[in-house]
Every structure is written in structure tokens, then in C-alpha cells.
Structure 1
Amino acid sequence: MTPPPRTDATRAWVHDAIALLEQEATRSADTHLLRLDFPGFPDIAFYFKDEASHPTGSLKHRLARSLFLYALCNGRLRPGQTVVDASSGSTAISEAWFARLLGLSFVAVMPACTAPQKIRDVQALGGHCDLVEDPAQVHARAAEHAANGACHLDQFGLAERATDWRGNNNIAESILGQLRREPQPVPAWIVCGVGTGGTSATIGRYLRYRRLDTRLCVAEPTGSGYVHGWRTRDRSVVASQPTRIEGIGRPQVEPGFLFDVVDAVVEVDDAASIAAALLLEDLLGTRYGGSSGTNFTACLRLAADMRARGERGSVVTLLCDRGQRYQQTIFDPGWRAAHGLDIAPWQDALRDALQRGVLATPAGA
């Protein structure tokens, strides 16, 4: 569908929309960087960037703002136009927030298996959820909406370029700024998961731009498309097994995942991710989602390797979203039992790691 020509009224609307996004960014304070120290790692500090404290409850708040700005500044978003994107939930919630801010209709194309609370959150913000039984078809369904005149924000295709990786208070710049008065202001590792690939691309590029020795680790569910893609440098590979951790562990390699800015990939079992999410709640007093547990497990794995080599330093990771969104899934013992997820062995292994500085994989895991 050919868009109508730009008019003075359209340009004025775009200017007003960008001003609204800038005002929202100014009102939103930066997220906290929390520190934890553990007896088993006396020379290694752990830092957690609490992205769940954004107004929409996840690190996708940054991405959604960037995607709207990208669409506006590239002339792709017009007054009154419906906005659409494919999402497993958190991005859709943030996009629904910004669509409401701009007075636009929003459609989230989501897998039908998405956590019910996420669907309710999108709807509460005025968005419509187009649920797809086959998760592999969400991109095609979003494209159908775009063919009918909607603006496709396309988080999976545009995330790595929509965010300004050189600065502008991106997540990497924020982390390094908050560490500047810490004993180890340049961390040994930054750990993140991969949904679209935008966060890992931003962090990896920024570390190189600043000429820092910090390495970037991607924490992913076992057997994900990103795991196999990074190891083989083959963008056509697919996941060897599914995951129950929403937001990461994509079945295929998305366009925004940049292999060459990632220094290491750590695979994490779903049971370990959930056990680590519950452990984070005990340590921090707040419940975070399963991807935060994936990140935490990878941090402990990296720190155990550092300790074995006699290295000192710090490890930084992200707390990605609010755990309340998963009350009916990963935090429900009945749901876990129905999906064959026994987290007890991993709970013991993770707590033992905090005390001894060694992360042993439980027998049978």
C-alpha cells in the first residue's frame, strides 16, 4: 500500500509525537544498578541492572521508544495509523504504552502460548492481541497487518539499528556510567540474553566504541537458534529444542543478532533459569522473570571460571522484566510439574555456588 504524500499537517504531527517521546524519556529516571556479594566469590562483585523498574516493567521500554522514534524519523509512521509488531509479550506491552501515548491503535501479534498476564497487560493499555497458534507464524501475520496499512515496528528486523549504540543513554552507556565510582569500574563481563538481538548488538558495539576490555556473554536457553548460530556462524540454523523461558531462546537466528560482537555464549537449562529467578527473589526481595534467571545462572558460570583462574573483577547482567507476569507459568509449581521441570536440584546447586564459588551441574540435568 502506497502511503499518502507528507503534508505540513503530517510534519507537525511527527514533530509533536517526537516531542511526546522526549518528554516521556525525561520523566523516566534511569534504572538502578544493584550490587550483590557472595561468600564463594570474595574477589568478584555482581551487579544487576534493574530494567524491570521501567514504567512498562521491562528492558523493552528502551527498545519500544527507539522503534517509535525510528519509524517517525524515517517517515514510516503517520497520524492515525495503526501500529503492529510481533512479540512474545514484553515488547508488546511497552509498544502498547507508547502507542497510547501517541493516540494510535496497536496490534500485538503474539503466540497463543504467551503468559496470560502479558496478554492482559497489552489489553489494559488499549492494545489488541492477535494470537497465533504456531509461534513461527507471528512474523507472517504481522506482515499481513502491514500490507493492510499498519506501520510494522518490526522489532526483530530493526532493533539493532533503531537504538543509538554510540550513546544517548543507551543501556551500555548507562551501566558504565553507574559503575564509574565502583572498585572495578570496567567489568570483566556483561551478560545478556537475546530476544531481537538489539541489546547484545548495542552493548557489544558500545564496548568496542569505548575501547574497553569488557567481554560480552550471551545467556541463552539450551539448544536455542542463537546458540547454534553463534557457534557455526550460520544464520540458517534452527533451535534443537524448545524453551519455556519467554522472550529469549528464539527458534531461529533473527536478523538483529550480530555474531561478531559476542565473546561467549552460555547455555542454561530451563529448570536452572527458573530456580535462579526464585533465588533472585530471595536475594533482592523482588520477583523477576525467567530470562533474568538465565542471566544470573550464566553469571555464576562465568564467575566460577574466573575464580578457578584466580581472576578478580566484576560481572554485570540485566534483570529483564517483572516476575508477576509469569505467576501462572514458571512460578506455578503445578505448571512446572505439568511441563516436567524439576527445579529442586538446580536450587541446591545454585545456593551451593554462592557459598563455594563452584557451579556444578546436577546429576541428570
Structure 2
Amino acid sequence: MKDNEYLRLNAVDRFKTLDAGIVKDLNELVSLAAAVCQTPVALVTLLDKDVQWFKASVGTEVECTPRSVSFCNNTIKQTQLVIIPDLLADPNHKTNPLVTGEPYVRFYAGSPLITKDGFAIGSLCVIDMEPRGLTEHQKKALKTLASQVVNLMELQWSLNNLEHQYQKEHEQIQARKAYEIKLRAVFDSSNDTHILVGRNYDVLAFNRSASIFLRSHYKHNLCIGDSILTYTEPAVLNQFKKYFSIALSGRSIKREWRLMPGTPLECWKVTTFVPVRDDDGIVIGVSLNSTDITHRKRQEAYINVQNEALQRIAMIQSHELRRPVASLMGIMDLLKMENIYFNYFEMMELTVNELDEKIRGIVKDSEDTLQGRHLAIVA
């Protein structure tokens, strides 16, 4: 039997609250103990830090007493039945107020209640107001009934623990299901395709967008356990394996793909290969997260075509349009060198210079537009 008081009190705490059904059974046991031992009082006691609790009783209406006056203080230190034939003659109890005053207890016999893990939490005891003893049959019966008291109390504690554990696990399962439902809703509502792939290229999970994409582009119904290589175009297969291997090594990586080129279903995808780890940090697979960038790619191609057209226009503006203006400006310079002036000469020179300035402005605007488009594509 263990004598650590702190741990013993923890054991007592397990049984301080008993179900009504267990209390009824305990009361039947103490009634049987009183009948067998032929005593007016029988109790199931629990010894807390400062209080002795009566969890079942016959012959008294009292529910507790201070632990300091408890006869069971000595009983919980024993492993066998404790019998005190005459408390008034016992040096340890003759001054006890329960002996010297009401109810004038004279006889006590108690069997310790020892739990399965070895803690004495209280006793099953019988009490009389006259000095007396117990027969061997009564002693054996009291010890047997004490064992049954412990069995009943521990059974309830075990059942309560199981119920509490079941309730806790049930709540955790319900919370996990609710979380998974919300996560799945977000997962399936995404326009991006998400596929979780094991180390051996086996499909572990996928969202609705991934299923629709593979069905519409490759006429395949994606299933758990399929090999992702089945859905990978031969032209990019080696690159796919390379990036998949990098992710398995623990590093995320991103790649753009042009899929089904030259067909009406041609599209561009940017795929991120993300390593997936277990609770121990070991990579168990790869998450393939793909975003359709076809619209962006087509816009870039359209902008490139426009830029090429603008470059051609800028070339024409800077060379073809400026050539005759440059010739006129040269002629005007020659006339000046020869000191040849005529009516409207200055007006003609002003007009030629103004035309040259306008053409330069147009060329600069075209160059600025090209530069802005280039920055927009880069961004």
C-alpha cells in the first residue's frame, strides 16, 4: 500500500462524486455489513485532507465529520481489518469527543478501502455504542464487503472515464468532420487545380477543378490511386519528374507549362510543386497546385504583336517621315550659306522646324508607349 499523502488525496478525489445508482448499491452493502456484524451503525468513509465524508451509511444522518476525530485515520494506514473492542479503554481514542460525548461510541471495526493502484482512500466500518467484538465469520464478511465497495466505486470511475473519453473523442471527431467539410468546400470551390500525390506518383486526393480539367482536356476520370504520370503529357514528362523529385527533396518549386499545343484545348498552366510532410517532418508526397494563365499568355502575345506594330510605326516615323523634312532643312541651310533670301523664307523655315518638332514628339510618344507596355508585361 502506498503512503504518499498527496497522491492518496488525488485518489480520494476520484470518488468524491458518486452517481445515484452507485450510492444506492453502497447503501445496500453497508446495510448488509450492519446486519452481519449486528451493529446499529455502518459507514463507507472517504478521508479527504480535513474532512471524513460518509458516502453511504446506515444508523446515522450525519454526512461528514472533521478528519481529526475520525477513527479511520488509523485504519487507512493498515492493510488488514482494524478492531477496537472498547474505544474508551484505548489510549489513542479514549479522549475522542465522539467517545466522551454524543453519540458515545464504544466499539469500532473497519476494513481499509484500497484502490487497484494501492491507495487507501477510506474504510468500510461498523460502529456500536457498547463494547464488543466480531466473530471470524463477521470479520471475513466485513473484509469481503469492503472489497466489493472498492470494486463498485472503481467501476463507476472507469465508466465515467470511458464516457468522458468517448464524449471527448466524439467531439473531436465532430470538430474534425466540420473542419474537413469546410476545408473541402474551400478546396472544391477553387478554380485552381489541386492534386495531392504520394511519393510513388499515386494520387491521394484532388479537388473538383482537377477532376473537371482532366475530364475535359484528356477524357480521363481522375480516381484515388491513379498514377499522376498517366495524366502527364509525354512532351513534359521528363521535366515533370525532375520538378517532382525536387519537391520530394523538401523544396518548393514553380513551373509554367504549355499544354496540348496546336489544339483547340491549348492552355497554359503555372504549377507549384509543394512538399507535404507528416507530423515527424518527413516528406510523404507532393501537392500539385496549378493556376490557369492562358488569358494572361494570350494578352502577352497580343501585346507583343501590338508592340511589333508600334516599333514598325516608330521606325517609319523616325526615318520615313523625317527624311523629307531633313531634306528641306538641308536646303534651307544651303540657301542661308549662299545668302539667298526671298519672300516668305523665314515663314518657310519656321514651318519646316515646327514640322520636325512635331515628328520628334510623335516618335517620342511611340517610344514611351513601347516602354510602358514592356514594364507592364514584366510586372
Whether TM-score is above 0.5 comes out as no
More strand by share: 2
TM-score if structure 1 supplies the norm length? 0.21
TM-score if structure 2 supplies the norm length? 0.21
More helix by share: 2
